[in-house]
Chains A and B, each alone.
Chain A
């Protein structure tokens, strides 16, 4: 059914609680904004197919809870991700100050070091900015990340953020090719039991 899909990519959204991670994802996948979005418990998951330069990439996006207490659980989902979106709230300085911590956590738990990182400053529709755009830029440059300011509420920058990230991943062939055969995320498709310990080299009866 996914014959025309070039590859499946695993993306991750992280950042402090309440910065608007789930809202950004909802805006990207369903193009809506739900003010009644409740705080995420554990992890949430969404899928979207994106066409980039004529190639269709299927995105499996894991939205994680920002709350301190869930953090022991969520890093397990960092495994195998090819791209990560790190979000802060431009109207809350403390969410920006915590970015360094998030990067450390990312470093500790991701399984690959060539993961593509994007920094998103969210809620630019609001007036009371506490973090200047240049500060975001500076941080992103320092940590070799992509950077954009966005608003889940007004749509600004959201689509662009995801597209840029995916494009960058696709430009790094080593990042997705090998993972492509290995990615076991088959939706609605039962995994054959028993065979997981055996590779393709020797046939199991």
Chain B
């Protein structure tokens, strides 16, 4: 077994290990590890560490299991990563230089490192090896075991020539007890430790501790070489008193109460509801003292913290302070996982009911609109209509059942649809939304934050979608959770339907086709607006047409071409179309509707018009304007660009559907052909419009406008020697039976306004409204999530800008690009999104910490400007660094504030403990008495230190007066429930 586990030593050493004890095997394993880690040989030659390098540098760690019989240990190498010294430098080092660790014992550049292994703090060493019991292994407690381990390492170090100090961890883990050794040429340092629960009274001060040190080094030289002393007291401030956290959670109800309009919405709350900084630790240090300079014994002490030459501070932060933005986000995020549908949440108003309600409203509205039909009422204000529609709904729902209080609902709706508040006095307010959006956009484009919506696939700031998101979030957080959200959504969809049915554009959406870079919900809303716009255009056109026909009829009298009959058909058709609240089967027949309106059927329908040259001029229809002074090939008529139908706008889901359909046709030639045919509706429509606008035209004419590169013109010299330009279709257009020729031949002569609509706005609008109506609250939350994260990021940016915290600024940037990735996938990764939200919350906490610290270290009026700058730097360092030096110690600007904080806390502590009971009843006459009391037993400015650290160092010959002078060090920790002495005592081993 021994051979198995240790094959290497079998090969390289001839010694017989078959009889080796477990102990011998353990020692050789330790040596092997030291060898593997290349810790053998002189460690001297490295420069002594720079000031503060233990904090600024990085520490490395290497770890491995090691067994003693079947007891498992870890062996770990800890080291400060330093730049490698050059090899040749190492050669120069004297053979018998002290090991590095011994030099470190005396080095004063890194006392009390704020973040380091405890052995580093106690012994000042930059590199060491620790052997500690494995997890779930018993602690090494018995003295014999401790000694066995210590002698093992001693032998390993001696055998291997390793100069790195090595420790074993003894006693229970929590006691952090270590014993160890370091060996060098002719020298050795022993690391010893004492750990007690209570500080023995004779050692409760510097002089007692110096006695221990002196007796330990046993130096008999006289006078004794000087002992260097460094002392550090730590005071804890827990009670912030009048500097308590200034922020109160906002009072949401007053924001929304009474007359207040929607302006208060759209703000995201921010800040901590509780103190985010729990403690302040002040460390006061007296470096480089020598015996006799200070007195600190059982009856008297010179050590006044206010006079300490060196102050440093660290803060302890509250673990997860409740913060508003974070709460707001996580409550919203929780909604994403709710399964209830709107009906289930609201308890009543099932789908059929809703349909009935709708038709009720529409009939009510019909009554309203009847006199002016088919053009909707323009005299009433939008706000009146919003209200009348909603009032109607509310009649079906008893008020007390409404999850969302009416006042709140009204203010939310007014915020979301601000145009409804505008008293509509003139017609042009109808067009206002689109215009105001357009100019708003141009302004915002300059702002880089504005483009954040592209990165996050959310929606532009202040768009309808964005505002809705903020409201849903607020309503969820503060006005009734899931049920209120469901209620708001229902009202929102209702308002959209109302606008569609009454031709009112939806405010707060950029015009044009859906912006595919935004979230799907935003696209859907834009789509609905497109539908409303088209419908309005159609209605307008119809009105104009009817008016002109009216005039025409008056002039030419009736009975011609049977026109009156078809006109009345138009009127009835259009009435049918505007009639709101159509059921699903009634929109399906709307496919037969035409682009602008149904009109007289009497015009030329023949596919070929070339023959009918005469009279064609007068029959030209739907001309936009002449095209580049061109004339038709077969006549002298100018070539006109026709009025054409605009292609159908698409949202990303429609588009995906369509591209899936197109992709499914396969990649064969037939597939390609079919695909082209499916997409040729627009081409065909354009051809028909072209034919109508250019009677007598040919395909070549069309191609010259539509695809000029496919009409090849060449200069040729004719028989008479003149150069003439001769044109013809390109080769690919001339292929017989190609799609273009085919389409041209089937195209009828029909102006766009009489063509079948390419985009059925009625159908699409109903589809959108239905889609919206069936979204569950959870779906809605998911739709709006990008907008909320967008708003949260902006809020964090805004708050960070006030506090100016570089680390947060950097994190926001990283988080944004991370969010960009998360939000661009069609299926969100909710686990990652949750992590992301936690990250935002962490940033909020950091900002509130900054804010809290700034409040505490705020300047009093009338103080110097330099001091303000200094305090600002101080606060920002507190946030980013583990421990911060107080410039000027107790006398500097930060120092005096800290002093004041302690004094106030002390006064109050004293007040509450001793005098509170007495003072309350005696308040009136106690003035003088109190002063006397206060004067007689004066409250100290600082509480007793929570911890005292005393570090004594010297270099003396040991063990005999003629030995080499070697580094000696004792680190003492005195706390209320802990007393620790960590000593490192070196001795000359040459002659012993």
Please report A residues at the B interface, Cβ cutoff 8 Å.
16-18, 29, 35-47, 60, 62, 67-70, 72-73, 76-77, 79, 92, 109, 111-112, 174, 178-179, 181-182, 184-185, 187-188, 191, 196-202, 204-205
Contacts and interface: CB of A to CB of B under 8 A. Distances in A.
Nearest to A201: B830
B253 to A, nearest CB: 32
A139 to B, nearest CB: 20
A35 B731 contact: yes
Contacts of A77: 655, 659
Which 10 pairs between the two chains have the least Cβ-Cβ distance? Answer: A42-B679, A201-B830, A38-B738, A41-B676, A182-B825, A18-B709, A202-B337, A199-B828, A182-B826, A46-B667
B683 interface: yes
Contacts of B735: 36, 38
Contact of A174 (B517, B672, B740, B821): B821
B650 A76 contact: yes
B779 interface: yes
Given A60-B663, A201-B337, A202-B830, A112 B739 contact: no
Given A199-B830, A201-B828, A76 B676 contact: no
Interface in B595-620: none
Contact of B782 (A45, A68, A197): A197
A39 B707 contact: yes
A109 to B, nearest CB: 7
A124 to B, nearest CB: 18
A178 B735 CA distance: 44
A187 B730 CA distance: 35
A188 B664 contact: yes
B782 A36 contact: no
B778 interface: yes
B662 interface: yes
Contact of B675 (A45, A79, A181, A201): A45
A166 to B, nearest CB: 18
A187 B667 CA distance: 11
Contact of B683 (A16, A41, A188, A197): A41
Contacts of A44: 672, 675-676
Given A47-B667, A200-B830, A201-B831, A18 B679 contact: no
A21 to B, nearest CB: 12
Contact of B824 (A41, A73, A111): A111
Contacts of B662: 43, 45
A60 B831 CA distance: 30
A69 B667 contact: no
B730 A69 contact: no
A185 B657 CA distance: 10
A204 B667 contact: no
A18 B730 contact: yes
Given A111-B516, A178-B825, A185-B659, 12 more contacts: A39-B707, A42-B682, A44-B675, A47-B667, A60-B663, A79-B652, A111-B457, A174-B821, A184-B660, A187-B664, A198-B779, A200-B829
B653 interface: yes
Contacts of B824: 111-112, 178
A185 B730 contact: no
B190 interface: no
A67 B687 CA distance: 14
B660 A185 contact: yes
A191 B660 contact: yes
Interface of B: 336-337, 339, 457, 516-517, 646-647, 650, 652-653, 655-656, 659-660, 662-665, 667, 671-672, 675-676, 678-680, 682-683, 686, 706-707, 709-710, 730-733, 735, 738-740, 775, 778-779, 782-783, 821, 824-831
Contacts of B783: 197
B358 to A, nearest CB: 23
A178 B682 contact: no
A40 B740 CA distance: 10
Given A18-B730, A36-B732, A69 B682 contact: yes
Contacts of B682: 42, 69-70, 73
Nearest to B676: A41
A182 B822 CA distance: 11
B530 to A, nearest CB: 13
Contacts of A205: 339
A178 B730 CA distance: 44
B336 A38 contact: no
B667 A18 contact: no
Contacts of B740: 38-39
Contacts of B709: 16-18, 92
B792 to A, nearest CB: 19
Contacts of B778: 202
A78 to B, nearest CB: 8
Contacts of A187: 663-664
Nearest to A112: B824
A174 B732 CA distance: 41
A205 B678 CA distance: 37
Considering residues B337, B656, B778, which has the most beta carbons from chain A within 10 angstroms of its beta carbon?
A: B656
A42 B710 contact: no
Contact of A196 (B653, B825, B829): B653
17 contacts: A18-B709, A41-B683, A44-B672, A44-B676, A45-B662, A60-B663, A70-B682, A72-B647, A77-B659, A178-B825, A181-B825, A182-B827, A197-B783, A198-B779, A199-B828, A200-B829, A202-B778
B704 to A, nearest CB: 13
Contacts of A178: 821, 824-825
A102 to B, nearest CB: 15
Nearest to B821: A178
B663 A45 contact: yes
A69 B706 contact: yes
A70 B337 CA distance: 42
A35 B738 CA distance: 13
A38 B826 contact: no
Contacts of A181: 825, 827
B781 to A, nearest CB: 11
A63 to B, nearest CB: 9
A173 to B, nearest CB: 12
B686 A29 contact: no
User: Which of B676, B710, B739, B830 has the most C-beta atoms of chain A within 10 angstroms of its own C-beta?
Assistant: B676
Contacts of B652: 79
Contacts of B707: 17-18, 39, 67
B104 to A, nearest CB: 45
Contacts of B678: 42
Nearest to B650: A76
B664 A76 contact: no
Contacts of A62: 659
A156 B848 CA distance: 63
Given A201-B336, A202-B778, A38 B663 contact: no
Contact of B679 (A43, A47, A182): A43
A37 B827 contact: no
Contact of A18 (B337, B710, B739, B827): B710
Contact of A39 (B655, B679, B733): B733
A17 B660 contact: no
A46 B660 CA distance: 13
Contacts of B457: 111
A199 B679 contact: no
**Which of A17, A42, A178 has the most chain B CB atoms inside 10 A of its CB?**
A42
Nearest to A71: B647
A38 B653 CA distance: 30
Contacts of B831: 201
A16 B739 CA distance: 19
B782 A76 contact: no
Nearest to B513: A72
A24 to B, nearest CB: 15
A57 B216 CA distance: 75
Contacts of A70: 682
Nearest to B520: A197
A158 B339 CA distance: 52
Nearest to A205: B339
Nearest to A195: B827
